[in-house]
Structure 1
Amino acid sequence: MMRLLIALGAPAVLAACADTALVSTASAPRAGFALVAETTRRATGAETAWHQSAADVEASQAKVRALVQGKSISAETAVRVALINNRRLQAAYAELGLSAADLWETALGPIPTLSLSVTNLGPSAATRTLEVALMGSLLDAATQKARSQKAELEFRAAQLEAVGTALAIAHQTRRAWVEAVGAFEAAALVRQAQETADAASELAAELGRTGAMNKADQAREHVFTAELAGEEAAAKLEAQLAKEKLTRLMGLWGADIRFYVPDRLPQLPARVPARSDLERLALANRVDLAAGRLELEQIALEHRLAQSTRMLSDIELAVGGEAERDGGTTEKSPMIEVGFAIPIYDTGKLNQRRGEMAYMRAANILAQDAINARSEARSAHAAITGAHSIARHWQQQVLPLRRTIDEEALKSYNGMLTSTFELLADAREGLEAQLNAAAARRDYWLADADARAVVWGGTATGEDG
C-alpha cells in the first residue's frame, strides 16, 4: 500500500504575502542610505560615505590621505574626513544595513515549510508511505501587513539613528578642531612670553653677579621664568591631547596622522549670524524629535497588532489532498489540518491598558524633548551672542589698551625713565590679556559649533570616535 499526501493551495496563498515593492527597497545594497547622506549634507555641508568592500575602504583612505597628509587642515576639512573615515560611523551604517535585512525578511512574508517523509514498513518494500505536506502559519499570513509596517517603522528609526550618529561625530569633530587650534594658540603665546622671561632672568643673574640686584629681586625674576616654563609645558600637553582627540574622530592612524592645524583661530565675524529662528529650525529639523514622533507611530502600531492577534494564538494550517492506492484502486480525499491554542484568560483590557500607558509615556517624553529643544535653541543663540560680545570686547577694548601701555612703556624705557624689569612686568600683564582674548575667541567658535548642532541634533555625548 502506498500513501501519498500532496499540499495544494497553500503555496500560492503564502507567495502572495510578499510585498515586492518593500522587498525591492530593503534589498538594495545601500538601503536607506540616500536619506542619511542627504540629511547629513544639509546639516554639515559635507558628504558622507558607506564603505561595504575593501575597495571602498581603500578609495576612502586615498581620499583622506590627499586631504590631510602633511597639510594644515580647516574645520570643514576635519568634518569632511570624519564623515568618510570614522569607523564608529561605519558601524552605525552597518546597523542600518542589518535593519534593512530585517525589513527584507519581513517583506518576503511567511516562508512555507516543506515536510517529506518516506516510511518503509516490513521486510519488503511493498508497503511505503510518502507524505509531502506544505505547512504555512495562518497567524503570520493574517498579520503580514501589520508586521511589515512595524519593520518599516523600525527601518526608518534606524535611518534616523544613523543620521544622529553622523551629526554627533561631525559636531564633536568641529569642537575638537576648535579646541586643538585654541590650545596651540595659547601655547604659542606662552612660548613668546617665555622667551622674554628667559632674557629677563639672564639679565637678573648678571646684575646679581655685579651686585646691582639683591637676591630677592633676582628670585622674583627667576620664579616668573620657572612658572612660565611650567605653563608652557602644560599648554603643549593640552595642545597635543586636543590634536590627538581630533585625530581619533577623523579615524586617522599611521602615516596619516602627520597633519597640522592652524596656530590661531579665525577672526571673529563682524556680527553674529542672524539665528533668531533657531527655535523654529530646531523643531523642524531635530533628528531626536523625529525619532520621538516615529516611536509614537511604533507604539500605536504595536498596540493594534496585539489587538488583532489576541484571539489567534499560534494557528497553523495545512491544506492538501490525500491519495491512497491499494492494488489497482486509488482513493482520493481532501485534507485540512489545523492546530491551535486557546488563551486561558482574556487579555484584551490588559493589552489595551499597557498600550495606552506606553503611548502616553512616549508622548510626554516627546513633549518634554520639544520643550528642551526650544530651550536649547534659545540657549545656543544666547551663548553665541554673548560669546561674540565678550570676544569683541577683549579684541576691541582690552588688547588695544594693552598695546598702548606696552608702547608707552617702551618709550619710557628707551628714555631711561623706567627699568628693564618694569618693562617686563608690563609684558607679563599683557600675556594674561592675550590669553584671555584667545580663550574668548575660542569660546565663540565653540558656541558657533553648538549652534550649528542644535538645529539638527547630534549633540549626544559619548565616547570619542
Structure 2
Amino acid sequence: MRTGIPRIIALAALPLLTAGCATTGAVDTNPLNAFAPVSDRTASVTGKQTVWLQSAEEARKAGERVQALVRNRTVGPDTAVQVALLNNKGLQAAYADIGMSAADVWQETMLVNPPISIGVIGVDPVRTVEAAVVTNILALITRPRRVAIAEARFRQAQLRAAEETLRLAADTRRAWIEAVAAWERVAYLNRAQAAADAASALAQKLGETGAFTKTGQAREHVFYAELAGQTAEARMQARMAKEALTRLMGLWGYDVDYQVPDALPALPKGTKAKRAIETEALKNRVDLEIARLELQALARSYGLTSATRYVSDLGLRSGVEIEREEEEDGSTRTEVIGIAEIDFVIPIFDTGKARMRKAELAYMQAANLLAERAVNIRSEARGAYDAYRSTYDIARHYRNNVIPLRTTIEEESLLTYNGMITNTFELLADTRAKIDSIMLSLNAKRQFWLADVDLGTAIHGGGSGSSPAMATEVAAAGDGGGGH
C-alpha cells in the first residue's frame, strides 16, 4: 500500500506533466532570435547596426569598436549614431523588455502547477488514506487566448525597442547638428573678433597721433569688447552642446577626446520629393503598429473576459480514497475508491457585468487612441515636410541673397571709409549688420538640417511624440574640418 499511493498520484499527474513539456518546447528562448526583427528594421532606416549585448565579451568587443570610432577622431553624424547604438546603456536597458516579454509568452504556454493533497485518517490497523490532484480546468480552456495575448505583447515589446532605437538615432543626429552648429558660430565669431581686434589696435595708434577722435576709438574698442563677450558665450554653448552629444553616445574617460567638424554640411542642391508623405508615414510608423497591436491584444482580452464572465474559477479534483479495515477473523481488508470532484464559483452576486463593461471601455479607448494616432501621424508628416521645404528655402535665401548683399555693403562702406566719405559709426553699423545676417544664415542652415531629421522621424517614428498614451493593460481588462 505504501508504494501504491505514489504510483497512483504519479499516474494522475502524468498527463499534465506531458502536456507541459510538449508546450514549452515550441517557445524560442534565444534572445538573439527575438532581437533580429528589431535589428533588421532599424538598420533599414538608420543604415547602422545595433546590438543587444548578452555577455561581458560582447560588451568588450563593442567597447573596442567604439574606441576605434571616436578616440582622437573627428566624428561625423553617421559615426555618432553608430556609437550611440553600440554604447548607450539606456538603449540596452530598453532591449531587456524584449527578453521579459518573451519570458511572459513562455510562462503562459506552461500549465498551472497542480496542487496535490494527501491525508491520513485514523490509526493502524484501521485507517483511511486520501490522495488527490487538483487541475485548473479554466486555465486549460483559456490558455490559447492567454498565449495569444502574451504574443501580442511580445510583438509590442519588439516594436517599442525599435522605436527607442530610432529615437536614440534621431536624438543623436540632432545633438550632432547642434554641436557642430555651435562650433560653427564660434569659428565665425573668432574671425570677426580678430578683424575687430586689428581695427581696435589701429584706432588706438591713430588716436595717439591725433588722427582719430576719442569717440571713434571708443566705438572700435566697445565693438571688439562686445564681440569678445559674444564669442565667450558661444564657446560655452558649444561645449555644452558637445557634452549633450557625448551623453547620448555613452562616452566617458579618454573616449571623450573626440572632435566634431567646425561647420555643418552645405545645403543640398535640392529637397526630397515626397508626393505621398501621409501614406508613407502611415505605412512605416512604428508607434502606429504598436497601437494596432494594443487594439488586437485588448480584443483578445475582451474575448477572455467574456469566456470567464460566469465561471471565473473551475477546478477538477481527481484522486483515490484507500480504506483499510479489520475483519472479524483478524484479517485486514483494503478498498480503493476513485474520487472525482468539480469546484466552481456560483455567479450569484458577481455576474461579471462590471468586468465586461471595463473590458468594453478598454477596447473603445484603444480604438479611439488608434484613430487619434493615425490622424496625428498624418498631420505630423505634413507639418514635417512643410518645415523641411520652408527651412530649405529660407536657408538658401540667406545664402544666395542676404549674405552677398551684406558683403557688398560692407566692402563699399570700407572703401568710402578709407576715402573719408563715411565715418566710423556707419562702418561699424554695417559690420554689425553683416555679423547679424551671417549668424541668421548659420541658424537657418541649422534649422534645415534639424528639419531633415524631423522629417525622418515623422515617416518612420522615433520622434518625441511618437508613442501613444496607452494607459490600458490587458491585465486590467481581463482582470568636416578641424574640431573641438
TM-score (norm 1): 0.90
Closer, same or farther: CA 25–257 of 1 in aligned 2, 3 Å: farther
Closer, same or farther: CA 19–87 of 1 in aligned 2, 3 Å: farther
Equivalent residues of 1:27, 1:100 under 8 A apart: yes
Task: Return the letter of the residue paired with 1:164.
Answer: E
1:354 aligns with 358
Task: Return the letter of the residue paired with 1:186.
Answer: R
Q: 1:94 aligns with which of 96, 111, 128?
A: 96
2:200 aligns with 201
3-state DSSP of counterpart to 2:454: helix
Q: CA deviation at 1:74?
A: 1.2
Equivalent residues of 2:403, 2:438 under 8 A apart: yes
Closer, same or farther: CA 180–258 of 1 in aligned 2, 3 Å: same
Q: Gapped runs of 5+ residues in structure 2?
A: 326-330, 467-484
1:331 aligns with 335
**Structure-2 separation of matches of 1:142 and 1:349:** 21
Task: Return the letter of the residue paired with 1:159.
Answer: Q
132-141 vs 402-411, which moves further: 402-411
Equivalent residues of 1:31, 1:100 under 8 A apart: no
The answer to whether 1:179 aligns with 2:181 is no
1:297 aligns with 296
Equivalent residues of 2:216, 2:425 under 8 A apart: no
2:381 aligns with 377
TM-score (norm 2): 0.87
**1:404-433 alpha-carbon deviations (Å, 9 max, x no partner):** 334445555666766777655543332222
1:76 aligns with 78
Count, aligned residues: 458
1:85 aligns with 87
**Structure-2 separation of matches of 1:128 and 1:72:** 87
1:444 aligns with 448
Q: For the aligned residues, what is the CA RMSD?
A: 2.7
**Structure-1 separation of matches of 2:245 and 2:310:** 57
The answer to whether 1:12 aligns with 2:15 is yes
**Structure-2 separation of matches of 1:416 and 1:127:** 130
**Structure-2 separation of matches of 1:209 and 1:120:** 120
Q: 2:31 aligns with which of 29, 32, 44?
A: 29
Task: Return the letter of the residue paired with 2:263.
Answer: R
Q: CA deviation at 1:328?
A: 4.8
**Structure-1 separation of matches of 2:451 and 2:232:** 27
Q: Gapped runs of 5+ residues in structure 1?
A: none
**Structure-2 separation of matches of 1:435 and 1:269:** 20
3-state DSSP of counterpart to 2:79: helix
Closer, same or farther: CA 128–224 of 1 in aligned 2, 3 Å: farther
2:52 aligns with 50
Q: 2:63 aligns with which of 57, 61, 76?
A: 61
Within 5 A, what are the aligned runs for 1:188-227? 188-227=187-226
156-165 vs 450-459, which moves further: 156-165
Q: CA deviation at 1:105?
A: 0.9
**Structure-2 separation of matches of 1:299 and 1:108:** 22
The percentage of aligned residue pairs carrying the same residue is 46
Equivalent residues of 2:129, 2:321 under 8 A apart: no
Equivalent residues of 1:39, 1:163 under 8 A apart: yes
**1:109-131 alpha-carbon deviations (Å, 9 max, x no partner):** 223344567x6977xx8788776
**Structure-1 separation of matches of 2:155 and 2:54:** 20
**Structure-2 separation of matches of 1:56 and 1:116:** 51
1:455 aligns with 459
Q: CA deviation at 1:4?
A: 3.7
**1:261-293 alpha-carbon deviations (Å, 9 max, x no partner):** 110000111110112222111101111111111
